[in-house]
Amino acid sequence: MEINFARAASARRLLRWQPPLNRPRSWVCSACRVNRLGVASQRFASQSSLPSEKPFYVTTPIFYVNAAPHIGHMYSMVLADVFKRWQTLMGKRALLSTGTDEHGIKVQQAAALDDKPPKEFCDQFAERFEELAQLSRIDYDRFIRTTDEDHIQAVEHFWFLLQEKGLIYETKHEGWYSVSDECFYPESQIVKSQEPFTGAVYMASAETGNKVEWVEEKNYRFRMTALKDRLLDFYEKNPGWVEPASRMNEVVNWVKNHLDDLSISRPVQRLSWGIQVPGDASQTIYVWVDALVNYLTSAGFPTWTPGQTERGGWPADIHVIGKDILRFHCVYWPALLIALDLPLPKRILTHAHWTLNRKKMSKSLGNVVNPTYAISRWGIDTVRFYLLFEGGIADDANYDNTTLAAKYKKHLQWGFGNLLGRVTRTRIWNLPEIIANAAEPQKIGVSLEKAVADFENQLLQLRPNVTQHMEQLNPVAAIRCIIEQGGQINDFLSSAQPWALLKSTDPENKAAADKVVYMAAESLRVCGILLQPFLPDKATQLLDTLGVAQDKRTYAYAVPNCDLSYGTPFIDPGRDRNDGLFPPLVEDKDVDYAGNLKAQRRAAQKRPEKKAPSILHTDN
């Protein structure tokens, strides 16, 4: 009997390959406006134009404008954006709201230090946050500012409803107040702390470590303690309301042991930059009551048509927040909503923080990563990839340029970038012809057939696995699942070596090579579809290079063998790795990517022959 050595060698290599186990701005009247970058930003539709069904509604926290945005703000935005884009991929209508929190003592003080009127100061920083959202490819529907007129009206109405229910009372309040945290703390949450450099002793919040001061003043309070039982009952009936579960335990513990009536106003002598308490010009509404209502404002509150409150998106399907504002969103916010018999948000995702050199980022220490510089240096989808792939949900993650470069090379450049080039650039095979004929039964040999079938079964599991992670509010695990598939495709292609099979005159070898190339292309297509919420620009480039039709890039098509019409590229696949999907990085270790502009300028002066920090092109 004649032995076909090319097929036998491929079979042995494929048998060694094994698939992995599944691891576990202000409101405007026009339909859109154009910002200074020339990018159209769609606002939330008016009530009259909305369809009757509730859209999926996801929010970021609104960001405080007392300082410039940092990488943590971008992380919150990107997480929320992935959830919105995922729902859109699945064919559902989705809305995303982000924006800025512009009132409060911290902003008032920062504006005074900058010698600017508060509104002018806020305009300056709000623009920077919205610019970051655009640079980060955040598909937001509304960029809300708490200085927007419709939001001010919503907050005043919210206050009026609380007052009508007898849930607000006036009192003389005294207690430990933190300017940094914009809140009072109970005695049980106060500790003595010491300044490490001067040795000065001061009182601080046990929760945040920020300095507190004893304050005595007249203000209004919200009867939050009257809602303690209803809060605890809600938590008990909705154990998965907060993700991760460990933070739900923190919330329950706070309500059981530290809940007190909430001070919800400040004397105007201390805080003038905010929304005035209706009917009392001597008091300003507490910034956190003001801020939390933004989620309702973006959903059309209070101009809801009776019986159609969900048309604007409320209740929110996901609030994305940082772990430092857990109590405000998971104790104060549900208490305020329960008080008015309003639906609560369905789920809250609290993510961890980013550190630099394993230390918490701090403006005073100067170790804050500037996301604009990072995007300029690495390209937007590279930064999105790194934040999503390495980001922390339960535990803090460390931002490191060396790690970023290493992950890029391993998973993107030598993963999807290399693979796409291997499949689409070669003249050894005709990709459109292979895909068009893929449905025809062909004999490829028993051993090869089994290996191909195993790979196909693994690919079939990709969409449900990614979907499960997204339903569990774990986009980090979801993108890792897709990236892992990219590595497996390369292993599969290297093991099968279709280029070697094509050297044989045996028709079974030709059929086997075609089948292997087809499965590699199919995996790329499926991964490209699923990557769209995570890496929108690069996923589009990948699918354009494969020639996947626009109407066949939806969730329904993210399974093998459902599209045999692609293969002819819409764009030039490039000639080599330097002009491919993920080209090699041009690394420059002298540039300070934490955002130190002076250091960047000094570095540029030392190296006049080198140009800007931008090293990756990003296609629109």
* Residues linked to residue 57 through DSSP beta bridges, in sequence order: 95
Q: What pLDDT does 309 receive? A: 82
Q: How far is CA 418 from CA 160, 195, 511, 579, in A?
A: 61, 52, 24, 11
CA distance 183 to 291: 13
User: Residue 347 — φ and ψ, nearest 5°?
Assistant: -150, 155
What is the DSSP code string of 88-124? HHTT--EEEEEEEE--SHHHHHHHHHTTS-HHHHHHH
Q: What pLDDT does 49 receive? A: 46
Q: Assess contact for 577 and 554: CB atoms under 8 A.
A: no
Query: What is the rounded average pLDDT for all residues in the chain?
Result: 85
Residue 366: pLDDT above 70?
A: yes
Query: pLDDT of 320-344, one tens digit each?
Result: 999 999 999 999 999 999 999 999 9
CA angle 418, 421, 425 (to 5 degrees): 160
Q: What pLDDT does 11 receive? A: 46
DSSP reduced 3-state for 292: helix
Compute the average pLDDT of residues 361-375: 84
Closest CA to 255 of 291, 288, 224, 212: 224
What is the DSSP code string of 134-167? HHTT---SEEEETTSHHHHHHHHHHHHHHHHTT-
* Residues linked to residue 242 through DSSP beta bridges, in sequence order: 348
Q: What pLDDT does 239 receive? A: 95
Q: What pLDDT does 503 receive? A: 86
- In the chain, the percentage of residues whose pLDDT exceeds 70 is 83
Query: pLDDT of 243-253, one tens digit each?
Result: 999 999 999 99
Least confident of 53-57, 190-194, 197-201: 197-201
Query: pLDDT of 304-322, one tens digit each?
Result: 988 788 999 999 999 999 9
- What residue type is assigned to position 246 of the chain? S
Q: Is beta strand 94-101 parallel, antiparallel or unpaired with respect to 142-145? A: parallel
Q: Assess contact for 158 and 187: CB atoms under 8 A.
A: no
Q: Is 197 exposed, middle or buried (0-12, 13-18, 19+ CB in 10 A)?
A: exposed
Q: What pLDDT does 587 receive? A: 61
Q: Tell the residue number behind the tokens 């209502």, with chain if given.
A: 293
CA distance 443 to 510: 10
Which two tokens mark 12?
């042995």
Q: Assess contact for 502 and 428: CB atoms under 8 A.
A: yes
How many other CB atoms are there within 10 angstroms of residue 158's CB atom? 24
User: Which ranges of 17-117 does DSSP label H, i.e. alpha helix?
Assistant: 71-89, 105-113
Residue 31: pLDDT above 60?
A: no
Q: How far is CA 249 from CA 256, 324, 333, 443, in A?
A: 11, 15, 17, 58
Query: pLDDT of 32-70, one tens digit each?
Result: 333 333 333 333 333 344 456 899 999 999 999 988 999
pLDDT band for position 196 (50/70/90)? low
* Residues linked to residue 142 through DSSP beta bridges, in sequence order: 97
Burial 439-466 (b: 16+ CB within 10 A, else e): eeeeebbebbbebbebbbebbeebbebb
Query: pLDDT of 399-446, one tens digit each?
Result: 999 999 999 999 999 999 999 999 999 889 999 999 999 988 888 877
Query: pLDDT of 553-585, one tens digit each?
Result: 999 999 999 999 999 999 999 888 788 899 998
Compute the average pLDDT of residues 507-513: 89
Residue that wins the pLDDT comparison between 503 and 227: 227
Highest mean pLDDT among 208-212, 321-325, 598-602: 321-325
Q: What pLDDT does 202 receive? A: 75
Residue 255: pLDDT above 90?
A: yes
Q: Assess contact for 298 and 44: CB atoms under 8 A.
A: yes
CA dihedral (461, 466, 467, 470) in degrees, to 10, reads: 160
Over 490-558, what HEC string results? Answer: HHHHHHHCHHHHCCCCCHHHHHHHHHHHHHHHHHHHHHHHHHCCCCHHHHHHHHHHHCCCHHHCCHHHC
Residue that wins the pLDDT comparison between 278 and 611: 278
Residue 394: pLDDT above 70?
A: yes
Which two tokens mark 379?
């390209």
How many CA atoms, within 13 angstroms, populate the side-chain half-sphere of residue 288?
23
- In the chain, the percentage of residues whose pLDDT exceeds 90 is 67
Across the beta sheet with 168-178, what order do the strands follow? 183-185, 168-178, 213-222, 262-263
- Identify whether 315 is preceded by a cis peptide bond (ω within 30 of 0): yes
Compute the average pLDDT of residues 382-410: 96
CA distance 357 to 175: 36
Q: Tell the residue number behind the tokens 């048309």, with chain if given.
A: 311
DSSP reduced 3-state for 565: coil
Q: What pLDDT does 606 receive? A: 45
CA distance 372 to 313: 31
Residue 271: pLDDT above 50?
A: yes
Highest mean pLDDT among 184-193, 210-219, 436-445, 525-534: 525-534
Identify the DSSP state of 7: H
Compute the average pLDDT of residues 458-483: 97
CA distance 139 to 95: 9
Identify the DSSP state of 414: I
Q: Assess contact for 615 and 582: CB atoms under 8 A.
A: no
Query: pLDDT of 124-169, one tens digit each?
Result: 999 999 999 999 999 999 999 999 999 999 999 999 999 999 999 9
Q: Assess contact for 399 and 356: CB atoms under 8 A.
A: yes
The structural domains of the chain, ordered by start, are 5-21+400-579 (1.10.730.10), 32-165+288-379 (3.40.50.620)
